[in-house]
A = this chain, B = another copy of it.
Amino acid sequence: MRATLFRRCSSTLPPTIRQLLAPSVTSELSQHSTRSEQDANVTVTGWVKSIRRQKRVSFAVISDGTNSAGLQAVFPNPSLVPKELTNGASVKLTGRLGKSPAAGQDKELLVEDIRILGNCNPEEYPIQKQALSNEFLRDNVHLRARTSAIASMLRLRHALQRELSSHFEQQGFLHVHTPLLTSNDAEGAGETFKLAKTFDKSTPDAQVPPPSPSDPDEFFGRPAHLTVSAQLHLEAFQTALNRVWTLSPAFRAERSQTNRHLSEFWMLEAEWGDLPIGSDAGVRGICAFVEGMLRASVKSLLVAPGTREDMDVSWGISTDDKAEMKRKRREELERAIYNKERWKIMTYGDAVLTLQEEYERQSREDASRFEFEPTWGKSLQSEHEKWLAEVFVGGPVFVTDYPIDLKPFYMRLNDPDGDRQTVACFDLLVPGVGELVGGSVREEREAVLLRRMKESGLWNEVDGLGEYEWYMDLRRYGGSPHVGFGMGFERLVSWVGGIENVRECVPMPRWAGRLSL
């Protein structure tokens, strides 16, 4: 028999630097140490972040990407340190992990054996020690995870995803992978990317599908778009599994160049049918859930030593003139997470009144002014949202019950207040970012929803059937009151990490005119 069995060997990888430096691991390793009660024999693989050669001893910081500080390596015999040990080189070091006499670190590695796994010519290496501009790093996006700023962001992003997943798990939600390719054209909001009809290569495949019904030039027999939101699809799962969520890519062919828009981004979306125990009905109940989710997830980042250090890195990157503002913002973030006092909540109507008072004050005092006059029925401008969160509240604020014309068809109609018609929705505004989360009660009443779709120009009938007939089915067959929200994941990373531009909140950013790799 030619198939052999594996010999028994471990399927577990060696400990990472983060695992080695964790207090419990170090003490466990020392128990088996042959050298002393303090030291443990370890092997570490990583990249050289910095090196300091001295006459009697040399030092290097080695990173394997698992923590922000790396590991301090001490070379007691500098003459044995090869010249290839340069910034960016990949190395494998073996030695004794022991208590460090230096300040700022508990442990250091006393190196006994050095192997260079990959050279890095310091003359040519683009990732130099001095500060590199964001723009330079976007041009070298394949190398930028080697900077401490991007590496810390990636660890924060990972931790946020993990903590959010864990929160949804505890709350009984099911994670569902909603589709990226869709026949929906954006639910009428924003621009969508469309797939090309033909592809570059000929397809000499014998099993070509039968000619498609509506358009034989289309791969799918009909036009295909990239999704702008998972919500409608997620609602189909809500009517079967109640509590569902997803963290999924979404796409907008958005040409504006702002610090909070990307063409490809990740959205966390959730839909469910019951509100927190004892909470206010409707929108306030959703807001309570969202606040609970953000407090729980961000708090675990604030208390864990690893992510806390990553936040020190990402918050610490700023020009001098912004340092004071960043210090204030980070305090606001921690207050929002730790304070017992619940987050502020106000209606859109009250927000407009408040903004109008501020606008009048600015006019009277000739202070720096809003560019746009706040008016009931018009969108809150970015400057308005920022003022509300950053100046008026100094922290997160929920703004609820927007006018019907500003929001999509699927948000539930409130009872009219005079001639003002609003929907049961909210935006969560946070300092430095603006809109972080948007959500609503969904319109569950079949007749109201159909009217709203027709008013929005989305009800195109073919052969007597509407394009969104399937979405109406969700109401016809056991559809019941439910709620949901969407959160831009890069904006969350921006808020938690104090990172100014969402282009630095995603591993490889894409925006109009830019698609590297």
Contacts and interface: CB of A to CB of B under 8 A. Distances in A.
B507 A176 contact: yes
A276 B12 contact: yes
Contact of A174 (B90, B154, B195, B479): B154
A466 to B, nearest CB: 13
Interface stretch (A106-114, A181-189, A319-327, A370-378): A181-189
A512 interface: yes
Given A274-B13, A514-B220, A514-B221, A239 B478 contact: no
Interface stretch (A73-81, A93-101, A350-358, A405-413): A350-358
B209 A200 contact: no
Q: How would you classify the secondary structure of chain A's contact residues: helix, strand, loop or mixed?
A: loop
A517 B470 contact: yes
A447 to B, nearest CB: 13
Interface string A118-133: 1111001111000000
Contact of A162 (B165, B212, B237): B165
B293 A209 contact: no
A477 B332 CA distance: 40
Nearest to A43: B274
A216 B214 CA distance: 31
Copies of this chain in the oligomer:
2
Contacts of A154: 174, 176, 237, 241
B118 A287 contact: no
A345 interface: yes
How many residues of A sit at the interface, in one of the four size bands? 35 or more
A454 interface: no
A142 interface: yes
Nearest to A444: B118
B199 A196 contact: no
A175 B154 CA distance: 8
Nearest to A512: B209
A255 B118 contact: no
A233 B154 CA distance: 14
A305 interface: no
A470 to B, nearest CB: 4
Contact of A6 (B18, B232, B342, B481): B342
Interface in A264-317: 264, 266, 272-280, 284, 287-289, 291-293, 295
Contacts of A477: 88, 120-121, 124-127, 143
A142 B179 CA distance: 12
A420 interface: no
A478 B8 contact: no
Interface string A241-268: 1110000010101111110000110100
A240 interface: yes
Which 8 pairs of residues, A with B, have the shortest CB-CB distance?
A11-B292, A65-B241, A90-B480, A117-B480, A118-B480, A6-B342, A145-B240, A220-B515
22 contacts: A3-B350, A8-B342, A11-B292, A11-B295, A12-B277, A16-B242, A46-B242, A65-B243, A90-B479, A117-B480, A118-B444, A119-B478, A142-B471, A181-B263, A191-B201, A192-B200, A205-B255, A207-B255, A207-B257, A208-B512, A220-B263, A220-B513
